[in-house]
Amino acid sequence: MRTYETIFIIRPQIAGDEYTALLGKYKQILADQSAEILRCQEWGTKRLPYIVKKQDQGTFVLINFIAGNTVVKEFERRLRLDDAIMQFQTVLLEHGLDLNAPEAAAKTVEDDLDDDDSEQDEEQD
Amino acid sequence: MGFDKTGGARRRFGRRKGCRFCADSEIKIDYKDVRTLKYFVSERGKIVPRRISGNCAIHQRKITEAIKRARNIALISFTSKRTIE
């Protein structure tokens, strides 16, 4: 039983109760397979730096859970089947998860999208 | 053709200080922490080489892996240009 961290992007059109239903479904899938959900963060809808599945926005959701590898395989299979999920990525946390870690500053993705290219020095590739 | 290694490097960084992660901060390298990773990505969206970023080998590898994971999950762009059709 190891600690995994899955982050996935949901289509921006899915909102409100449909979104909560979808989230509940996935939490239920994990719960059914006796996985212990440590944390579920929802970062909300963001602009993506590149087009994913013809969308340039997406809703990010991060789930940390403790489970066996068969559970992860099944969970990812379900994520792959669902077309509401545009992209997902699962990472194994070797050192487990310390919940009181300082909050990851990933939420400020906006500020890097409109970063001013004030420095005009073009690199020579 | 000058071979002075120091002069030719891009002016963008010019950081010759030691590895940021070894010395001062026990900050964790995390693919979700875009703010820290952005510091090691050039304007073109390319990963800054170790000789310029001044990182040690261990942390440079961790940074590279984190940047690639962030790119995969659309937190960081592969190229810096915003492709909006």
Q: Is residue A107 part of a domain?
A: no
Cα–Cα–Cα angle for B84, B77, A10, rounded to 5 degrees: 75
Q: In this structure, is residue A42 part of a structural domain?
A: yes
Are B13 and B48 in contact by the 8 Å Cβ rule? The answer is yes
CB contact under 8 A, B75 and A51: no
Cβ pair A23, A61 in contact under 8 A = yes
DSSP B41: B
Neighbouring CB atoms inside 10 A of A17's CB total: 8
**What residue type is assigned to position B41 of the chain?**
V
pLDDT above 90 as % of chain B: 35
Asked whether residue A112 is domain-assigned, the answer is no
Residue A96's pLDDT is 74
Find out if CATH 3.40.50.720 is the number for domain B20-72: no
Report, as an integer, the average pLDDT of B43-70: 91
Is A7's CB within 8 Å of B73's CB? Answer: yes
H or E stretch covering A49: strand A36-52
Interhelix angle for A69-81 vs A16-32, to 10°?
A: 150
* Cα distance between residue A95 and residue B21, in whole Å: 18
In a domain, A14, yes or no: yes
In sequence order, what are the residues at sequence separation of 6 or more whose Cβ sits closer than 8 angstroms to the Cβ of residue A57?
A12, A45, A46, A47, A48
- For chain A, give the number of residues: 125
DSSP code for B48 = P
Say if CB B45 and CB B78 are below 8 A apart: yes
| The pair of three-digit structure tokens given for residue B54, joined into one six-digit string | 């001044």
Taking the alpha carbons of B31, B34, B35, B38 in that order, is the dihedral positive or negative? positive
Per the structure, the count of domains in chain A is 1
Residue A112's pLDDT is: 44
Q: Do A112 and B12 touch (CB under 8 A)?
A: no
Separation in Å, CA of B57 to nearest CA in chain A: 20
Whether A17 maps to a domain, the answer reads yes
Q: Is the pLDDT of residue B39 over 80?
A: yes
Q: Kindly identify which residue of chain B lies nearest to residue A123, measuring between CA atoms.
A: B10
**Residue A84 contacts B, CB cutoff 8 Å:** no
Greater model confidence, A13 or B24: A13
pLDDT digits (tens, 9 = 90+) for A55-94: 999 999 999 999 998 999 999 999 999 999 999 999 999 8
CB contact under 8 A, B43 and A123: yes
Of B25 and A82, more confident: A82
> Quick one: pLDDT band at residue B28, thresholds 50, 70, 90?
confident
The per-residue pLDDT for range A18-52, each reduced to its tens digit, is 999 999 999 999 999 989 999 999 999 999 999 99
Query: How much is the ipTM here?
Result: 0.77
The whole-number pLDDT of residue B83 equals 45
Residue range(s) defining the domain that contains residue A43: 2-96
Residue A105 has pLDDT above 50, yes or no: no
Least confident range of A90-104, A106-120, B35-49: A106-120
Q: Report pTM.
A: 0.77
**Can you give the CATH number for the domain in which A91 is found?**
3.30.70.60
